[in-house]
Amino acid sequence: MGRPTIDDVARAAGVTKATVSHAYSGKRPISATTKARIFAAAERLDWVPSSRARALAARRANAVGVVLSRDPAILASDAFFPAFISGVESVLAGHEIALVLQMVTGRTAEERAYRAMASGRADGVIVLDLHRVDWRVPYLRDLRLPAVLLGAYDAENPFSTVRTDDATPVRELVAHLRALGHTRIAHVSGPLDYVHSHARAAAYVESVGGDELLREGDFTAGSGRALTAELLGLPDRPTAVLYANDTMAIAGYSYARSRGLEVPADLAVAGFDDDHLSAHLSPALTSVSSDPFRRGKVAAERLLADLAGEPAESVTVDCTVLRLRASTAGPAPEAHPTPLEEELS
Amino acid sequence: MGRPTIDDVARAAGVTKATVSHAYSGKRPISATTKARIFAAAERLDWVPSSRARALAARRANAVGVVLSRDPAILASDAFFPAFISGVESVLAGHEIALVLQMVTGRTAEERAYRAMASGRADGVIVLDLHRVDWRVPYLRDLRLPAVLLGAYDAENPFSTVRTDDATPVRELVAHLRALGHTRIAHVSGPLDYVHSHARAAAYVESVGGDELLREGDFTAGSGRALTAELLGLPDRPTAVLYANDTMAIAGYSYARSRGLEVPADLAVAGFDDDHLSAHLSPALTSVSSDPFRRGKVAAERLLADLAGEPAESVTVDCTVLRLRASTAGPAPEAHPTPLEEELS
DNA sequence: GTTCACGGTAAAACCGGTTTGATGAACCGG
DNA sequence: CCGGTTCATCAAACCGGTTTTACCGTGAAC
């Protein structure tokens, strides 16, 4: 009737199910002839062991989880996520481990999702979009759910972390713009309670020596546009803007253009994360590629190591590459042109 | 020590575990007072039922699967997937159902992945990137694994399908270009053994009345570029090109520009799938938005309906919207300019 | 005043594997 | 030739729930 079970195989091979189990797991020696009989029977019956039963008995799901609390709309326009997941899967695939994904909105739903993971859906999780003070860290500790954190988490915690140096590329970008003659360099950041946004913003502030031209965005095109408008409306407007992602950068430079500014002649623009289309825009967008695929790989490897019993460890992935393109080419504008002729828009 | 089990709760409430189970499932009436005692005990012990045990006993994983056989590199530069998954999750989240993702390369790995799903990881799967003759359809039938197919599958099959009308937007695009005066309209398709690529290409061939200017690409920027080069090298080159996705379209129009052509003045360009950056390119790219979020939603709802025992059904999602933008604006070029001055590149 | 239906709970079987303890046969040194 | 290993296998317990069966007490029906 239904799918064959281990008992069917055992019966067909003339042994008990314990022997079948051992033949596959190798945890007890089984004679070659018996093994052959068992494998033949399994083959003939087309037996696939029930992953449900296996998970219960072995107390392990053979799956790792990712809980995403992003707004679906933002996720859909994000270059990071699919590449990151690809990297994770590239590691898991070789171990017959599956990826369990849950997308939630709201703290309650997120807690529920993590409890579900801890209740046996997954053996461990990868935590993205870490906040500077993140409730999930103590929460996961209390759940005793193995986890790998993506991004530096300073406070005491028992988890492995996968860090990336976000500061260096920002410093390099600022240096690059300075070399071109820019003195008024602005930054439109992501939400500053994210560790990565904060790290980038901090490196920016340190590089330019102040936060006068720092504006906090939220990674959406809308905020990129609005904050660009605000910056360009300043009496002494910036001649260059660094955005925390490409979506905001593109929204920003579209807006600047709509007000009659040329990129990069009147305004230099740089993004972050190097969306796959950014190189094809015109002018092509300077950005920082951060190899999310590789970070996904490293995070998955680290989690598997944790699950194998190795002690937690913090690894740093050196994966950011500055992609200098046309949007920051050429010398800085001479002086700051008179405030925009807004009536011309 | 470990997490509390249903037995611990039962003991604390002074009942048997069967009663606890029934109190939650409601499959047997339990008096209000007993229920209250059970819930209080569960709360106090912080009991979360083991999803592993539940899956085994109830013969259902409370999860649905998606197996992706795309090359990770392609996936990472694809606008469709994250939005589609968001749509799927938006439905699953409300039912406490998880999404199990497996990315594989190669038929063997893909079969293994589906067998894993069938062995209890998932209660059903959503099948993407359907081929015109797809081995997965009979394979899944043999596995008796509930599935929803995304895209029209003509051959006899027992599954629900979620269709989209790909032909109409193509016809509209061709009509639009014709109205602008274009007579030489080319199409760079996706692999023609995919049902959706084929449907688009077929609609194109029907509209323009021939396949002289049809070229088969593979959705990558590289193929977009190469096939554009080929088309522009023709003695009587096209004045407009329809691409099967935005990535190829952008690669194509970058290439055309590098050869000194203006878009849209010398070459009109249209994409497909409406990447979130396409509207921000300059000129903005005409494309066909196909609302992958909504298709994900519908596919998930359909699968849940199948799992609930409803008979398989084929639903059509009407979700394509033509986004006419600058890349196809203006009249067609007068005549076909002399073959490109290749020496100028 | 028995009979019957039914609400409420206990007891036990079951889901399909893994793991552990026991057993018998072969092997081995003294 | 005997006690002690080692090897191969069986039998049973176990993982933590769900589901089925059985049983008891009570109020309604006859």
pLDDT tens per residue across span B169-203: 999 999 999 999 999 999 999 999 999 999 999 99
d(CA A288, CA A278): 11
Other C-beta atoms closer than 10 Å to the C-beta of A232 total 21
Percent of chain B with pLDDT over 90: 77
The CA–C1' separation of A58 and C15, in angstroms, is 15
Other C-beta atoms closer than 10 Å to the C-beta of A98 total 27
- Scanning every strand, the nucleotide with its C1' closest to B24's CA turns out to be D18
B335 bridge partner residues: none
Domain ranges of chain A: 6-49, 63-164+292-319, 167-289+324-344
For A73, B64, B65, B68, the CA distances from B105, given in Å and listed in that order, are: 29, 20, 16, 8
Alpha helices in chain B (DSSP H): 6-13, 17-25, 32-45, 51-58, 72-76, 80-92, 107-116, 136-143, 167-179, 195-208, 221-232, 246-258, 292-307
d(CA A73, CA B293): 9
pLDDT tens per residue across span B53-70: 999 999 999 999 999 987
Span B63-164+292-319 CATH architecture:
3-Layer(aba) Sandwich (3.40)
Percent of chain A with pLDDT over 90: 77
Which residues of B spanning 27-46 put their CB closer than 7 angstroms to strand C?
Answer: 28-31, 33-34
The H or E element that residue A150 is part of is strand A147-150
pLDDT value at A325 more than 90? yes
Residues of B in contact with A85 (CB under 8 A): 101, 103
**Is strand D within 7 Å of residue B18 (CB)?**
yes
Find the residue in B nearest to A291 (Cα).
Answer: B76
Burial A302-335 (b: 16+ CB within 10 A, else e): bbbbbbeeeebeeeebeebebbebbbbeeebbee
The H or E element that residue B102 is part of is strand B98-103
Pick A258 or B124 by higher pLDDT. Answer: B124
Closest CA to B246 of B212, B291, B279, B207: B279
Q: Record the tokens describing residue B249, joined without a space.
A: 């379209």
For A225, A286, A309, A326, B281, the CA distances from A264, given in Å and listed in that order, are: 17, 10, 52, 7, 15
Residues of B in contact with A94 (CB under 8 A): none
Q: Looking at strand C, which nucleotides approach a protein CB closer than 7 A?
A: 7-12, 14-21
Residue B282 confidence (pLDDT): 78
pLDDT value at B234 more than 50? yes
pLDDT value at A189 more than 50? yes
Mean pLDDT of B145-159: 92
pLDDT tens per residue across span A115-132: 999 999 999 999 999 999
d(CA B319, CA A93): 34
Residues of B in contact with A300 (CB under 8 A): none
d(CA A204, CA A181): 17
Per DSSP, the residues of B170-206 read HHHHHHHHHHTT---EEEEES-TTBHHHHHHHHHHHH
pLDDT value at A259 more than 60? yes
d(CA A271, CA A249): 5
Find the residue in A nearest to B106 (Cα).
Answer: A93
The H or E element that residue A101 is part of is strand A98-103
Q: Do the chains contact at B102 and A104, CB–CB below 8 Å?
A: no
The CA–C1' separation of B155 and D5, in angstroms, is 64
Q: Do the chains contact at B90 and A72, CB–CB below 8 Å?
A: yes
Q: Do the chains contact at B82 and A75, CB–CB below 8 Å?
A: yes
pLDDT value at A332 more than 90? no
**A232 touches A184 (CB < 8 A):** no
Residue B154 confidence (pLDDT): 81
**A111 touches A139 (CB < 8 A):** yes
Q: Record the tokens describing residue A165, joined without a space.
A: 């140096």
For A316, phi then psi, to 5°, come to -110, 125
pLDDT tens per residue across span B251-263: 998 899 889 999 8
Mean pLDDT of A222-251: 95
User: Which residues, including other chains, have CB under 8 Å from residue B133's CB and lie 6 or more apart?
Assistant: B155, B193
Find the residue in B nearest to A88 (Cα).
Answer: B103
- Of the candidates A61, A79, A246, the beta carbon closest to that of B52 is on A61
Is the fold of A63-164+292-319 the same as that of A167-289+324-344? yes
Selected for mutation to probe chain A from B276, B285, B290, B325 (highest A CB count within 10 Å) is B276
d(CA B154, CA B133): 9
Residues of B in contact with A104 (CB under 8 A): 93
Residue B340 confidence (pLDDT): 41
In the block, residue with structure tokens 């991004």? A151
User: Which residues, including other chains, have CB under 8 Å from residue B187's CB and lie 6 or more apart?
Assistant: B200, B201, B204, B205, B208, B213, B214, B215, B241, B242, B243, B244
Percent of chain A with pLDDT over 70: 94
Residues of A in contact with B277 (CB under 8 A): 246-247, 250, 275, 277-278, 281
Find the residue in B nearest to A104 (Cα).
Answer: B93
Q: Which CA-bearing residue is nearest the C1' of D12?
A: A18
Q: Which CA-bearing residue is nearest the C1' of C14?
A: B57
Quick one: CA torsion of B6, B12, B13, B15, rounded to 10 degrees? 60
**Is strand C within 7 Å of residue B59 (CB)?**
yes
d(CA A155, CA A141): 13
Chains A–B, number of C-beta pairs less than 8 Å apart: 174
pLDDT tens per residue across span B221-231: 889 999 999 99
Fold exhibited by the domain A6-49: 434 Repressor (Amino-terminal Domain) (1.10.260)
**Is strand C within 7 Å of residue B95 (CB)?**
no
d(CA A297, CA B264): 41
d(CA A268, CA A327): 6
Tell me the three state secondary structure of residue A328: helix
Task: Tell me the CATH class for B167-289+324-344.
Answer: alpha beta
For chain B, the average pLDDT equals 91
- Of the candidates B51, B75, B118, the beta carbon closest to that of A119 is on B51
Residue B189 confidence (pLDDT): 97
pLDDT value at A218 more than 60? yes
Report, in angstroms and rounded to the nearest whole number, the Rg of chain A calculated over CA atoms.
26
pLDDT value at B345 more than 80? no
For A162, phi then psi, to 5°, come to -115, 110
**B264 touches B324 (CB < 8 A):** no
- State the distance between the two ends of chain B, measured CA to CA, in whole angstroms: 73
- Of the candidates B3, B103, B280, the beta carbon closest to that of A254 is on B280
pLDDT value at A154 more than 90? no
For β-strands A98-103 and A240-243, DSSP reports them as unpaired
Residue A278 confidence (pLDDT): 87
State chain A's maximal CA–CA distance in angstroms. Answer: 91
Residues of A in contact with B100 (CB under 8 A): 63, 98-101
Residue B1 confidence (pLDDT): 60
d(CA A225, CA A217): 10
**B81 touches A82 (CB < 8 A):** yes
